[in-house]
Chain A
Amino acid sequence: MLKIDQLISGYGSVQILNGANMKVEKQSIVALLGGNGTGKSTILRAASGLIRSWKGTIEFNGEQIQNLPAHEIVGRGLVQVTQGKDVFPAMSVTENLKLGGFILKSKQQLSDNLEKVYNYFPRLNERKDQLAATLSGGELQMLCIGRGLMSNPKMIMLDEPSAALAPQIVLDIFKNINRIRQDGLTVLVVEQNVRMALLLADYGYVIKDGVINVEGDSKKLMYDESVKESYLGGTKANV
């Protein structure tokens, strides 16, 4: 579904990605793992058009999408959910979600999708008239994911859905991500929480210094020594 080939990109004149290769199959959950500053988020930002790709190709559904304007990429069904807390605090939960469905033409579709999101996250339904600024961390993350689902995407890319959340809530959110996949979406998860991410995913990539270091089946990766090394820069730890 998404195919990234020899992608080189970065911010300003600083090159972060040094030729990353990735492939995400349809209706799968793929985890992209790596430490801080290795280029995980950069891959997502390049794929969703927030930064320019310097070299290499990004293919989505068989079409090249690198360097398209970000709103067109959303229109094609590839949606990025940014790292939590990135909601519009002065708007209500419903308004935030409606904003997610900004590209939808029909009102019927919008309310259908709203219903669908409330079905995934009943917590949001309870708080639909509250200002987004008053939500807790977990609810904010749910709101972010819900907002991403509003535009009928074919694939969503989640940037650290578990960041700064209690384990119970992380579990809850990951269960919902699995449900989203079962409903026919493709999911790419960028994570620092290696064990949780590999439990959820079918396939995993480990990125280091802007290139994909290790890849493989998530069951296999879980016991791979080089993952630990790549992830923690050589120090071994219990993951």
Chain B
Amino acid sequence: MFNKFRIGKKGENIIFGTFVLLYIGWCVNSPDMNIESLKSVLTIGLSVGIIYGLVALGISLIYTGLDVVNFSHGEFFMIGAFAGLTMFNLLGNQDWIFNLFPDAYGWIIYVVCLFTAFVSMGLFGVFIERVFLRPLTKKGGGYTVAGMGIIICGFGLSVVLINVAYLIWNPVAKPFPAELGLPMEIGGLFLPITYIWMIVVGLSVAAGLWFFLNKTKMGLGIRAVAYSKDVSNLVGINVPLYISIIFGIACAIAGIGGTLVGPTYQVVVFMGYIILMKAFAAAVVGGFGNLPGAIVGGFTVGIFETASSFYISGSHKDLYAFLLMIVVLMIKPTGFFGVQVKMKA
């Protein structure tokens, strides 16, 4: 889960470097290339990338715990955005909050929304795992017949969750008008504050997760369960409980991602699918099952996608993430922070 950074062998590095140089050359040749556009590409790329990274973090976390890819993870992202929006609408017309904090009104409401999304999606994730996936995880996670069942179940769950959300919130795209203040000026560039906010919150969540996994007892247990369920059982870890916790944390992080995206874009029932696919690309680029790799992969995909749609062609925006994934898979199948095949006990 926490391998050292190594890109690859010498040959791999040369091929990869050639690709990167070609790409940079292409971008520099573009007529739109100037320092201003580069700055905005970087900021937007990083802010989009951290969202991909957060969802990828959840996918990787579930992969380390259960040895399967959770294909319904995008829906947790979407429902998290709706949970945040619902809280926002509840609090938005409460005058007493405004009277209490006239200055930081928008911020306080937004933080409460983030927190709501985090907690509610955590609980929702645990509920889903306990009710729908437990019969399958009981028979052994991935690497067994039940593992395929979990993957199919993920697809089905995705369809069900989209339709439930459709029933509750209808398919109209909804604005998330969080009042976070005026655009901020960074290096002569005016940026909506939500972009900065996304990067800051996203990185704090990732850092918090790192701290949780490495410095707390529960984190130690989670790492143990991720490595081997048998040995974890034998040291007295309640493995089913820890699998629920892993699932809950992954969903909670996805929920935060959804609420972070809300104010910048819109909240739609169908927003989960494409995020899932791009987060999957980010996880593959960073190294599947590697948590720091998920964030790095998210940034890479985000910047690559934004830069390409800026300098190459904006009409193929959704294509670039997968292009990058294919190139990385061709040159270094394990991703940047490659994890060797997991040894089973």
List which A65-80 residues lie within 8 A (CB) of chain B. 69-71, 74-75, 79-80
Chain A residue numbers with a CB within 8 Å of B230 are: 50, 82, 86
Tell me, yes or no, whether B236 is within 8 Å of chain A by CB. Answer: yes
How far is A86 from B230 in the complex, measured between Cα atoms in Å? 9
How far is A150 from B235 in the complex, measured between Cα atoms in Å? 9
Chain B residue numbers with a CB within 8 Å of A87 are: 231
Tell me, yes or no, whether A209 is within 8 Å of chain B by CB. Answer: no
B234 contact from A74, A90, A91, A98, Cβ within 8 A = A74
A-B pairs under 8 A by CB, number: 66
Say yes or no: B238 contacts A80, CB within 8 Å.
Answer: no
Chain A residue numbers with a CB within 8 Å of B221 are: 99, 102
Known contacts being A88-B227, A88-B228, A90-B227, is A79 close to B234, with CB within 8 Å?
yes
Interface centre among B1, B220, B240 (most CB of A within 10 A): B220
By size class, the interface of chain B is 20 to 34
A100 contact from B1, B227, B235, Cβ within 8 A = B235
Chain B residue numbers with a CB within 8 Å of A100 are: 235
How far is A87 from B343 in the complex, measured between Cα atoms in Å? 11
Say yes or no: A90 contacts B236, CB within 8 Å.
Answer: no
Tell me, yes or no, whether B217 is within 8 Å of chain A by CB. Answer: yes
User: Considering only CB atoms, which chain B residue lies closest to A95 in the complex?
Assistant: B220
A88 contact from B231, B233, B240, Cβ within 8 A = B231
Tell me, yes or no, whether A141 is within 8 Å of chain B by CB. Answer: no
The prevalent SS among residues of B at the interface is helix
Say yes or no: B233 contacts A71, CB within 8 Å.
Answer: yes
Chain A residue numbers with a CB within 8 Å of B73 are: none
Say yes or no: B235 contacts A50, CB within 8 Å.
Answer: no
Chain B residue numbers with a CB within 8 Å of A90 are: 1-2, 223, 227
Interface centre among B224, B233, B240, B343 (most CB of A within 10 A): B233
Chain A residue numbers with a CB within 8 Å of B240 are: 69
Say yes or no: B234 contacts A99, CB within 8 Å.
Answer: no
How far is A74 from B237 in the complex, measured between Cα atoms in Å? 9
Say yes or no: A71 contacts B236, CB within 8 Å.
Answer: yes
Chain B residue numbers with a CB within 8 Å of A99 are: 220-221, 224, 235
Say yes or no: B345 contacts A82, CB within 8 Å.
Answer: yes
A148 to chain B, nearest CB (A): 8
How far is A87 from B221 in the complex, measured between Cα atoms in Å? 14
Tell me, yes or no, whether B285 is within 8 Å of chain A by CB. Answer: no
Say yes or no: B234 contacts A80, CB within 8 Å.
Answer: yes
Say yes or no: A50 contacts B220, CB within 8 Å.
Answer: no
Say yes or no: B220 contacts A75, CB within 8 Å.
Answer: no
Say yes or no: B217 contacts A102, CB within 8 Å.
Answer: yes
How far is A79 from B228 in the complex, measured between Cα atoms in Å? 17
List which A100-125 residues lie within 8 A (CB) of chain B. 100, 102-103
Say yes or no: A86 contacts B228, CB within 8 Å.
Answer: yes
B216 to chain A, nearest CB (A): 12
Say yes or no: A50 contacts B236, CB within 8 Å.
Answer: no
Say yes or no: B228 contacts A49, CB within 8 Å.
Answer: no
Show 5 A/B contacts (Cβ-Cβ < 8 Å), sorted by A: A86-B230, A88-B227, A90-B2, A103-B236, A147-B235
Interface of B toward A, CB cutoff 8 Å: 1-2, 217, 220-221, 223-224, 227-228, 230-231, 233-240, 343, 345
13 further A-B contacts with Cβ under 8 Å, apart from A82-B345, A98-B220, A151-B236, are: A49-B233, A50-B230, A70-B233, A71-B239, A82-B234, A86-B345, A88-B228, A90-B2, A90-B223, A95-B220, A99-B221, A102-B224, A148-B234
